[in-house]
């Protein structure tokens, strides 16, 4: 447990030793919240005075809720016998999870390399594609997000790359959903096409009909490796175990993370088609991850896969999704002109608002009404709606009622925000006056 005596001490220590920028940001917007107790879909402020319903789940990390009791007990039992393990050696724990994962995927997707986070897993996918094809160019979607590590960062949106120096060579971005732009960009040097099945940071964009199928055909015809990033969209989030199942395709490499951890022990997975594993034949130690697939966390990951793949679990996700669709439609009717669209595949949902001011504004008013929503980083006109997959129908109704209140508050505040911004831009005092 933390040695901090109270919330204010924690805020000061965070400001002085972790991130002064984050501390200033949350102070500015009256969101000086420090996570304390957490359980199921809720977490509480450190002082216990405010309870938040988690409708973001850290991008799907908490698909099964905060501090899932079954997973906690499993992790505790694994600590009786296991530790991190040694990545140089063979591992029964990693083998067990990888074999079970392969049983849940199309037949040829059968080799898993474990990592700690999604960015590391994407880096490896890119390295494998380049090594296998002997080609270098990686095509990804403009506005996409794949992590903050080296190659993953290079494949992501410029927003996250630009402050840190020139772009790495060999990376091209095209608009998501535009198959003709992808065809034009792909050439004899293209090693891989890397896409999020549902681009979350771009605003929960649902692929246009036929798009992913056309990408799959293009990659097959031109011998390009097709990588799908399901770090957020996998593990039942869309109402199917894998988001790509909604489109009747399969990738050559599948990247998983976030929810695979059960919210308790970091783990990610890069799953390769059998031929691609050959890049490690000459030197099986050419890629290592000291903490990747840590044995103490493998049993948790396996149980996450078991829960997420069960027919009853997926049926529940789809029932909840249907209830959300009804409730959000009602809110669209009531708040027409502000809430202008709803993007949904299962419980991967986005609230499309009427402009880019509205996303940050609703994020704030939702917080004021005890909901954690976060606007999409590369499209602030969309608020991501990612509740735990384990909530109840009554929770859906409660969330909708709070959203109703939050939207009403945002609508009232919006004219004041616009006026404040206009006044900030207008300076009646000439620079020449003293």
R_g of the chain, CA atoms, integer Å: 23
Counted domains in the chain: 2
Tell me the three state secondary structure of residue 313.
helix
Domain membership flag for residue 399: yes
Question: What is the domain range of residue 418?
Answer: 33-62+311-424
- The pLDDT assigned to 421 comes to 65
Q: Are residues 336 and 240 in the same domain?
A: no
pLDDT in tens, 108-135: 999 999 999 999 999 999 999 999 999 9
For residue 167, give the DSSP letter.
P
Question: Nearest 5 degrees, angle CA 18-CA 22-CA 23?
Answer: 80
Give yes or no for a contact between 201 and 378, defined as CB atoms under 8 angstroms apart. yes
Distance CA 333, CA 188 (A): 50
Per-residue confidence band for 433, with pLDDT thresholds at 50, 70 and 90 = very low
Domain membership flag for residue 12: no
**Residues pairing with 268 in the sheet:** 115
Domain membership flag for residue 3: no
pLDDT at 432 over 60: no
Domain membership flag for residue 24: no
Domain membership flag for residue 389: yes
Q: Are residues 84 and 204 in the same domain?
A: yes
CATH number, domain of 354, equals 3.90.1150.10
Question: Nearest 5 degrees, angle CA 259-CA 72-CA 233?
Answer: 10
Q: Are residues 56 and 129 in the same domain?
A: no
Distance CA 176, CA 66 (A): 33
Helix or strand run (H / E) with residue 383: strand 379-385
Which whole number is the average pLDDT over 383-395?
98
pLDDT at 426 over 70: no
Q: H helices then E strands: how many in the chain?
A: 14, 15
- The pLDDT assigned to 391 comes to 98
Distance CA 71, CA 377 (A): 31
pLDDT at 430 over 50: no
Q: If you write DSSP's letter for every residue of 254-297 in order, what string do you get?
A: EEE-GGGGTTTS--EEEEEEGGGGGGGTS-TTSS--TTTT-HHH
Sign of the torsion angle spanned by Cα atoms 349, 354, 360, 366: negative
pLDDT in tens, 310-335: 999 999 999 999 999 999 999 999 99
pLDDT at 192 over 50: yes
Instruction: Give the end-to-end CA distance of the chain in Å, rounded to a whole number.
Output: 56
């Amino acid at each position: 447990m933390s040695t901090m005596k109270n919330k204010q001490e924690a805020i000061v220590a965070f400001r002085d030793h972790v991130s002064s920028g984050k501390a200033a940001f949350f102070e500015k917007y009256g969101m000086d919240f420090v996570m304390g107790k957490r359980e199921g879909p809720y977490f509480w402020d450190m002082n216990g005075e405010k309870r938040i319903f988690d409708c973001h789940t850290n991008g799907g990390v908490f698909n099964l809720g905060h501090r899932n009791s079954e997973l906690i007990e499993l992790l505790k039992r694994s600590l009786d016998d296991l530790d991190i393990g040694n990545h140089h050696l063979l591992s029964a724990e990693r083998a067990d999870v990888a074999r079970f994962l392969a049983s849940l995927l199309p037949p040829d997707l059968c080799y898993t390399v474990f990592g700690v986070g999604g960015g590391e897993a994407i880096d490896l996918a890119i390295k494998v594609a380049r090594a296998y094809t002997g080609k270098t160019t990686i095509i990804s979607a403009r506005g996409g997000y794949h992590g903050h590590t080296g190659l993953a960062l290079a494949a992501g949106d410029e927003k996250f790359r630009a402050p840190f120096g020139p772009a790495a060579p060999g990376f091209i971005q095209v608009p998501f959903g535009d198959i003709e732009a992808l065809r034009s960009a792909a050439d004899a040097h293209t090693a891989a096409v890397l896409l999020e099945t549902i681009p979350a940071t771009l605003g929960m964009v649902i692929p246009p009909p036929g798009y992913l199928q056309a990408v799959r055909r293009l990659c097959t015809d031109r011998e390009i490796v097709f990588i799908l990033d399901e770090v957020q969209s996998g593990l039942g989030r869309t109402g199917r175990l894998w988001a790509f199942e909604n489109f009747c395709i399969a990738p050559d490499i599948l990247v998983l993370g976030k929810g695979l951890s059960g919210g308790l022990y970091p783990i990610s997975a890069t799953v390769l088609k059998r031929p691609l594993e050959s890049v490690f034949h000459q030197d099986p130690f050419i890629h290592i991850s000291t903490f990747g697939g840590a044995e103490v966390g493998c049993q948790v990951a396996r149980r996450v896969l078991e829960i997420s793949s069960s027919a009853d679990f997926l049926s529940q996700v789809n029932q909840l999704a249907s209830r959300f669709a009804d409730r959000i439609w009602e809110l669209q009717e009531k708040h027409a002109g502000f809430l202008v669209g709803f993007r949904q595949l299962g419980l991967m949902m986005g609230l499309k608002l009427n402009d880019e001011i509205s996303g940050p504004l609703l994020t704030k008013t939702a917080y004021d009404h005890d909901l954690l929503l976060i606007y999409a980083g590369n499209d602030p006109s969309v608020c991501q709606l990612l509740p735990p997959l384990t909530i109840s129908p009554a929770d859906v109704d409660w969330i909708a009622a709070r959203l109703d209140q939050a939207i009403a508050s945002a609508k009232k505040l919006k004219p004041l925000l616009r006026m404040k911004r206009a006044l900030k831009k207008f300076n009646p005092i000439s620079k020449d006056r003293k």
